[in-house]
């Protein structure tokens, strides 16, 4: 969980430091965003390939190589003298971190007996769910009080500790058959190339789409075409290859396929909501980065408290019922957020996030358990790679979607609201007159006071339009979340985790 927490944290910790990185390295903010994009692209490319590399090197050795590469590249990121070198080291960091999540998950599933898997996954899930929550807060604190370079240096002691613990406590199972090039193992160059190019292009489209106005940009259109062609081609190619880089055949297992879809939706909502709420608090309500982080922190504490409870409940209830309960609770939190206005207090924001987080705690572990329960052990590495890839793509898609939704819905609400700002509207006339008199009483001349009054009212309109667009985004996420429930009823039933797998 240490290494996974460190890796997931780095997907969000650099967000708040971008202006500082750009200023320190003499780059524009747009250029500095490649610090985020390069990491996500490299991460997505390597994520599903863990099974193939484990077969080649042995899972423990491959896992330790990944942790070491991530730790060393984090140190180099902190020392980077230019933006180009920082982006290069972030690519190395993404390559090292991409396989940590699926490898950790595979080790947990295969190490613990069935009755203890729920609790093991609960401890693991604390890191996965908590990391994107505290990432922006931790990044803001380190950047403001120390330097942006410390958001990378903090990975070094965690990485060293993870390496030492892995060396002492983790062992490859006997049935994990290693293959070498002497045994006839061949490198699937075509599969590697198609997967890397397809996932890399997809991440560029999702991360840069809104900034480039989506398909009105030839840049985005070109990458979208490359992504579509390569990702479709790689599926057909890998299904026919003797030693595939990624085994899509595991998607034939119904529970795994449905669990992967549910994780895609979970990633969408988790990352999108974690981005939306601090943005709302800072841009519209005037919160500082630290204060907005403190709104998210109690939700993280709720996750820590609820995760072990979920691990215990999995021994007595089917995973699907816990997922359904979690969806309803988390969707309720999002509905509360969709009713926010410009005058909400700190307690209301904290409470809504705590409700959403309580539901999230009931989702990650049960979905993971239900998805991998019927996957053969010798294919577990491939399965966990695909499973975590779905969450990462869902997260990137969620952030891209809500960013676009905010821009488009804000424009729509502005058009509707501005139609009421006419001299023929009594409420508008009264507001202008009252504001003009107030400004005049504070020393402005009547002509200046009238102009300032119009500007103040229009500024208020823009804030109201933005607030309504945030409400729309939260509502859309709540509705999308509920779509997980039908997927649970389509799964084959699995009994509580008392011992050997029970299916009906």
111 or 484, greater pLDDT: 484
And the tokens for 498?
């008392």
Mean pLDDT of 436-443: 71
Helix ranges, 284-379 (H): 289-313, 319-338, 346-361, 364-372
Strand, coil or helix: 42: helix
Mean pLDDT of 336-356: 88
173 or 23, greater pLDDT: 23
Mean pLDDT of 352-370: 84
Window from 68-72, 196-200, 229-233, 458-462 with minimum mean pLDDT: 458-462
pLDDT at 328: 92
Tens digit of pLDDT for each residue in 279-335? 788 778 887 766 777 787 787 778 878 888 887 888 888 888 888 898 999 999 999
Residue 76: pLDDT band (50, 70, 90) is: very high
> How many Cβ atoms from other residues are within 10 Å of residue 72's Cβ?
17
Calpha distance 333→327 (Å, rounded): 10
Tell me the CB-side half-sphere exposure of residue 89, using CA atoms within 13 A: 19
Tens digit of pLDDT for each residue in 365-405? 788 877 877 777 767 767 777 777 787 778 777 877 888 88
Residue 440: pLDDT band (50, 70, 90) is: low
**Contact by Cβ (8 Å): 48, 195:** yes
Residue 18: pLDDT band (50, 70, 90) is: low
Radius of gyration of the chain (CA): 25
pLDDT at 16: 64
CA dist list (Å): 184 to 56, 61, 172, 265, 294: 11, 21, 22, 39, 55
Mean pLDDT of 332-344: 88
**Contact by Cβ (8 Å): 406, 473:** yes
* CA geometry: angle 322, 500, 1, nearest 5 deg: 60
% residues pLDDT > 70 (the chain): 83
Residue 204: pLDDT band (50, 70, 90) is: confident
Tell me the CB-side half-sphere exposure of residue 371, using CA atoms within 13 A: 32
Inform me whether the pLDDT recorded for 11 exceeds 80.
no
Calpha distance 376→496 (Å, rounded): 19
pLDDT at 176: 59
Window from 313-317, 346-350, 422-426 with minimum mean pLDDT: 422-426
Inform me whether the pLDDT recorded for 185 exceeds 70.
no
The distance between the two most distant Cα atoms of the chain, rounded to a whole number of Å, is 89
Quickly tell me which residue has 């895609």 as its tokens: 264
Mean pLDDT of 269-275: 80
Tens digit of pLDDT for each residue in 114-128? 777 777 777 777 776
Q: Which residue from 502, 381, 504 is spatially nearest to 114, judged by alpha carbons? A: 502
Inform me whether the pLDDT recorded for 164 exceeds 50.
yes
Inform me whether the pLDDT recorded for 251 exceeds 60.
yes
431 or 479, greater pLDDT: 479
Q: Which residue from 488, 20, 481, 466 is spatially nearest to 276, judged by alpha carbons? A: 466
Calpha distance 486→134 (Å, rounded): 31
Residue 244: pLDDT band (50, 70, 90) is: confident
Sign of the Cα pseudo-torsion (341, 346, 348, 351, in order): positive
Tens digit of pLDDT for each residue in 78-89? 888 888 888 889
240 or 412, greater pLDDT: 412
Window from 65-79, 111-125, 189-203 with minimum mean pLDDT: 111-125
Q: How many helices (H) and strands (E) does the chain have?
A: 22, 0
% residues pLDDT > 90 (the chain): 4
**Contact by Cβ (8 Å): 235, 228:** no
| Maximum average pLDDT range among 136-145, 325-334, 403-412, 493-502 | 325-334
Calpha distance 83→81 (Å, rounded): 7
**Contact by Cβ (8 Å): 99, 62:** yes
pLDDT at 209: 76
pLDDT at 501: 42
Quickly tell me which residue has 């990137």 as its tokens: 396
242 or 164, greater pLDDT: 164
* CA geometry: angle 143, 150, 269, nearest 5 deg: 70
pLDDT at 33: 66
Inform me whether the pLDDT recorded for 174 exceeds 70.
no
**Contact by Cβ (8 Å): 23, 87:** no
Calpha distance 183→191 (Å, rounded): 20
**Contact by Cβ (8 Å): 119, 278:** no
Inform me whether the pLDDT recorded for 106 exceeds 60.
yes
């Amino acid at each position: 969980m240490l290494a996974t927490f460190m890796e997931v944290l780095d997907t969000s910790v650099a967000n708040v430091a971008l202006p500082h990185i750009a200023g320190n390295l003499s780059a524009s903010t747009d250029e500095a965003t490649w610090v985020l994009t390069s990491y996500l692209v490299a991460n997505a490319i390597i994520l599903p390939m863990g099974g193939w590399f484990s077969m080649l090197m042995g899972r423990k050795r491959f896992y330790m190589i990944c942790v070491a590469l991530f730790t060393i590249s984090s140190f180099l990121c902190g020392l980077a003298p230019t933006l180009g070198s920082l982006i290069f080291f972030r690519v190395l960091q993404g390559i090292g971190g991409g396989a940590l999540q699926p490898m950790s998950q595979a080790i947990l599933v295969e190490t613990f007996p069935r009755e203890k898997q729920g609790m093991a996954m609960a401890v693991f899930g604390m890191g996965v769910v908590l990391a994107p929550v505290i990432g922006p807060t931790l990044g803001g604190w380190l950047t403001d009080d120390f330097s942006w370079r410390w958001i990378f240096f903090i990975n070094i002691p965690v990485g060293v500790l993870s390496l030492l613990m892995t060396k002492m406590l983790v062992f490859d199972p006997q049935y994990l058959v290693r293959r070498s090039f002497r045994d006839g193992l061949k490198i699937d160059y075509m599969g590697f190339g198609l997967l890397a190019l397809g996932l890399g292009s997809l991440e560029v489209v999702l991360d840069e789409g809104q900034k480039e106005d989506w398909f009105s940009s030839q840049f985005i259109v070109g990458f979208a075409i490359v992504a579509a062609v390569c990702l479709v081609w790689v599926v057909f190619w890998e299904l026919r290859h003797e030693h595939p880089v990624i085994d899509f055949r595991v998607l034939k297992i119904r529970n795994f396929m449905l669990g992967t879809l549910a994780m895609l939706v979970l990633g969408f909502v988790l990352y999108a909501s974690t981005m939306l709420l601090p943005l709302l608090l800072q841009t519209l309500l005037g919160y500082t980065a630290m204060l907005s982080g403190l709104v998210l922190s109690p939700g993280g504490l709720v996750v820590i408290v609820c995760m072990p409870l979920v691990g215990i409940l999995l021994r007595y209830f089917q995973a699907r019922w816990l997922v359904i309960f979690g969806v309803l609770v988390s969707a309720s939190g999002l509905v509360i957020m969709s009713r926010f206005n410009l005058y909400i207090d700190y307690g209301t924001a904290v409470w809504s996030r705590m409700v959403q987080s309580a539901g999230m705690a009931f989702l990650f572990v049960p979905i993971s358990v239900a998805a991998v329960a019927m996957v053969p052990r010798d294919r577990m590495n491939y399965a966990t790679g695909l499973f975590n890839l779905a969450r990462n793509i869902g997260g990137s898609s969620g952030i891209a979607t809500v960013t676009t939704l905010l821009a488009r819905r804000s424009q729509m609400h502005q058009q509707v609201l501005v139609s009421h700002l006419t001299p023929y509207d009594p409420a508008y006339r009264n507001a202008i007159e009252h504001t003009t008199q107030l400004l005049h009483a504070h020393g402005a001349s009547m002509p200046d006071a009238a102009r300032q009054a119009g500007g103040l009212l229009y500024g208020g309109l823009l804030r109201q339009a933005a607030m309504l667009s945030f409400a729309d985004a939260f509502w859309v996420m709540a509705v999308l979340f509920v779509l997980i429930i039908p997927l649970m009823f389509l799964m084959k039933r699995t009994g509580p985790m008392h011992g050997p797998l029970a299916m009906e």
